[in-house]
Structure 1
Amino acid sequence: MTMTSAQAEAPAGSGRYRGFAFAFLAYLLWGFLPFYMKAVAHISPYEVVAHRVLWSVPITAAILAAQGGFSSFLGVFRQPRMLVMGFLTASLISVNWAIYVWAIGSGRALESALGYFINPLVNVALGTIFLGERLSRAQMFAVGLAVFGVGLMTVESGGLPWVSLALALTFGVYGYLKKTLPIGPTQGFLLEVVLISPPALVYIGWLAATGGGHFAGTGIAATGSDTLLLAAAGLVTAVPLILFVFGARLLRYSTIGLMQYIAPTMIFLTAVFVFHEPFSAGKLVAFLFIWAALVVYTATMFSGRKA
């Protein structure tokens, strides 16, 4: 749930407003995603992820076909390097999804929000380490504030907030590797879900054979509502991502950079006021340092006119 690629300049006129509407709706849907995850909390995260993968294939394929890009997509399968990179990114996003599904269902939505708050700063660190990008003093200060905030959270929780760090790192590395795929975002996402759909299908088949599944009466605990929820997994996965892609192409990079905080803010508020997860004064101080880091980081984007 963070920015990957966008144009530095946004088109004028109605395109900018359409881009804002697309991106805002994408982040809004991501912000409401914890409610879906709570609804499927009684289902294994692996089964939920498997259905997210499988049901995303037809939805994304249909959208790509409507865009007229399906024929060029098929040529990807004749490029071994593209397939290897696609499998790597698919593996990373699958791990990210599994952690997120488990975290929400286990009452760790607050840690999930923290992970997506620090994700932009992880991207800065990855750019410095692997792309040779140089940090300004303000950016170094922002990273320092974030590290201190994570340290406070570690002391408060009695251990590293590994859920937050795992979400931020897996999505950060995922975004970094996505830049090496010379195909469009929709094509790239379809490639990922196609590559990991065979193991997902095998896993769902195994659950059905052993009576442990929750889809269409394949397990002793399966219900009609479970079937509908799992069938909706593709919609809740693919639709916001594709809306985001359309929006990112019509907006400034700095605008997308600012909007990406909508979803974790909604997750944070949901965790505290709806799910009633414990939120001590120590955690509040830790979050204040993270938020301060984001203010500094966002300010550098606008002052430099680029991310």
Structure 2
Amino acid sequence: MALMARGDLPIQTVVETEDNPARTGLIHALCAYTIWGFMPLFFKQLVEISALEVVAHRIVWSVPLLLVILWQRKRLGEFFGVMRDSKTLRLMLISSALIATNWLIYIWAIYQNQILAASLGYYLNPLLNVVLGYFFLSERLKPVQWLAVAMAAAGVAVLAIETLATIWISLALAASFGLYGMVRKVAPVKSVPGLTAETTLLFPIAAAFAGWAFLYDASPGLGYSLRTDIYLILGGAITATPLLFFASAAKRLSLATLGFVQYIGPTIQFLLGVFLYNEPLTVSHMICFGLIWAALVLYSGDALVSARKSSTAKA
């Protein structure tokens, strides 16, 4: 997600004359990834509602909130610029389809007690980004990065032998979010205006489906109870809040630091799946996660060393 927010502005409530921007950035990064990590707790409260309807409401309630945020930060012009640029708009159509697919699979996985599979997908995402950069953006891979990718692939292969019926969840989440990040990297759009454009493009379909569900679907949904209504409306805030924290963190922290902090999210999900929701942790799971964690240590350690060398050279 660092690819989407590079160069974005800080949260408005942050005092820009702060004495220690790195400390503020780290706090905001921790807030963002902690919220993302605990999201299964939120969506578990909506299991009686279809994942498709939850995604629809997440989009519907995100749009007004994001527009208000842009208006308050005097950045509506960026949003309108995106909507007027045909080339950028085509990229936003692709990214909006990818992020909606990612949200839908993620919520469905939570409903199906597959939080471990979801966390694995987000562990895989940084390594998949390396592969996508190699094939689509002509980025070169170092031997350490190739080794990390090979270790992750071996872990997935081990798990696939035992859980072929669910491994697709991890791969689909990693692929949809990895491709989303790649599209957002090449699109000349910052994080909040970009998300506003994406949800605005999705809004007509989402609003139509939410309206149909409200009028004709007999299953629980909007209007079923005050508790349900609050959770559905809060879906907009759950979408926007961690992104705003992340936008602030990305401006203040190096990508290497963000690379380490990003593993907080899937780690929290992993712990929730095992210890709170009692999802089975098999030997294949342990081998798979062990290989991927080792791969991420190699990958992140190499990124940190490269960042230090670059900083030393600049000094």
TM-score > 0.5 by shorter chain: yes
Q: Which of 256, 278, 281 pairs up with 1:279? A: 281
Q: Which of 116, 121, 145 pairs up with 1:110? A: 116
Aligned residues of 2:29 and 2:245 also touching (Cα < 8 A): yes
Residue identity in the other structure for 2:128: V
The whole-number CA distance in structure 1 between the counterparts of 2:248 and 2:32 is: 10
Q: Which of 95, 101, 125 pairs up with 1:89? A: 95
Q: Specify the alignment match of 2:177 in structure 1.
A: 171
Q: Specify the alignment match of 2:137 in structure 1.
A: 131
The whole-number CA distance in structure 2 between the counterparts of 1:82 and 1:197 is: 18
Q: Specify the alignment match of 1:6 in structure 2.
A: 6
Residue identity in the other structure for 2:271: L
Q: Over residues 132-191 of structure 1, what are the superposed CA-to-partner deviations in whole Å (9 max), with x where a residue is unaligned?
A: 111111111000000000001101214560000000000000000002221221110100
Q: Specify the alignment match of 1:200 in structure 2.
A: 206
Residue identity in the other structure for 1:265: T
Partner of 2:280: helix, strand, or coil? coil
Greater mean deviation of Cα atoms: 101-110 or 54-63: 54-63
The whole-number CA distance in structure 1 between the counterparts of 2:210 and 2:288 is: 40
Q: Specify the alignment match of 2:30 in structure 1.
A: 24
The whole-number CA distance in structure 2 between the counterparts of 1:19 and 1:3 is: 16
Aligned residues of 2:222 and 2:229 also touching (Cα < 8 A): yes
Aligned residues of 1:2 and 1:119 also touching (Cα < 8 A): no
Aligned residues of 1:4 and 1:175 also touching (Cα < 8 A): yes
Residue identity in the other structure for 2:66: T
The whole-number CA distance in structure 2 between the counterparts of 1:154 and 1:72 is: 44
The whole-number CA distance in structure 1 between the counterparts of 2:110 and 2:166 is: 18
- The reply to whether residue 288 of structure 1 matches residue 294 of structure 2 is no
The whole-number CA distance in structure 1 between the counterparts of 2:98 and 2:306 is: 31
1:215 positional shift: 4.1
CA 1:27/1:173 → structure 2, altered by over 3 Å: closer, same or farther?
A: same
Unpaired runs of 5+ in structure 1? none
Q: Supply the RMSD in Å over aligned alpha carbons.
A: 1.8
Partner of 1:232: helix, strand, or coil? helix
Q: Over residues 44-95 of structure 1, what are the superposed CA-to-partner deviations in whole Å (9 max), with x where a residue is unaligned?
A: 0110000110111111111111221113322322211122111110110000
CA 1:33/1:160 → structure 2, altered by over 3 Å: closer, same or farther?
A: closer
Q: Specify the alignment match of 1:147 in structure 2.
A: 153
Q: Specify the alignment match of 1:36 in structure 2.
A: 42
CA 1:160/1:227 → structure 2, altered by over 3 Å: closer, same or farther?
A: closer
Aligned residues of 2:121 and 2:170 also touching (Cα < 8 A): yes
- The reply to whether residue 119 of structure 1 matches residue 125 of structure 2 is yes
Aligned residues of 2:62 and 2:239 also touching (Cα < 8 A): yes
Would you say how many aligned residue pairs link Structure 1 and Structure 2?
300
Q: Over residues 20-39 of structure 1, what are the superposed CA-to-partner deviations in whole Å (9 max), with x where a residue is unaligned?
A: 11111000111110001111
Residue identity in the other structure for 1:171: F
1:126 positional shift: 0.3
Greater mean deviation of Cα atoms: 65-74 or 48-57: 65-74
The whole-number CA distance in structure 2 between the counterparts of 1:259 and 1:151 is: 26
- The reply to whether residue 62 of structure 1 matches residue 68 of structure 2 is yes
The whole-number CA distance in structure 2 between the counterparts of 1:144 and 1:75 is: 42
Q: Specify the alignment match of 2:84 in structure 1.
A: 78
Q: Specify the alignment match of 2:313 in structure 1.
A: none
CA 1:216/1:133 → structure 2, altered by over 3 Å: closer, same or farther?
A: closer
Residue identity in the other structure for 1:85: L
Greater mean deviation of Cα atoms: 259-268 or 242-251: 242-251
Q: Over residues 191-231 of structure 1, what are the superposed CA-to-partner deviations in whole Å (9 max), with x where a residue is unaligned?
A: 000110010001011112213364442xxxx2221111101
Q: Specify the alignment match of 2:305 in structure 1.
A: 303
Aligned residues of 2:222 and 2:232 also touching (Cα < 8 A): no
Q: Please give the TM-score of this superposition, normalised by the length of structure 1.
A: 0.93
Unpaired runs of 5+ in structure 2? 8-15, 311-315
The whole-number CA distance in structure 2 between the counterparts of 1:93 and 1:232 is: 18
Q: Specify the alignment match of 1:266 in structure 2.
A: 268
Partner of 1:277: helix, strand, or coil? coil
Residue identity in the other structure for 1:256: L
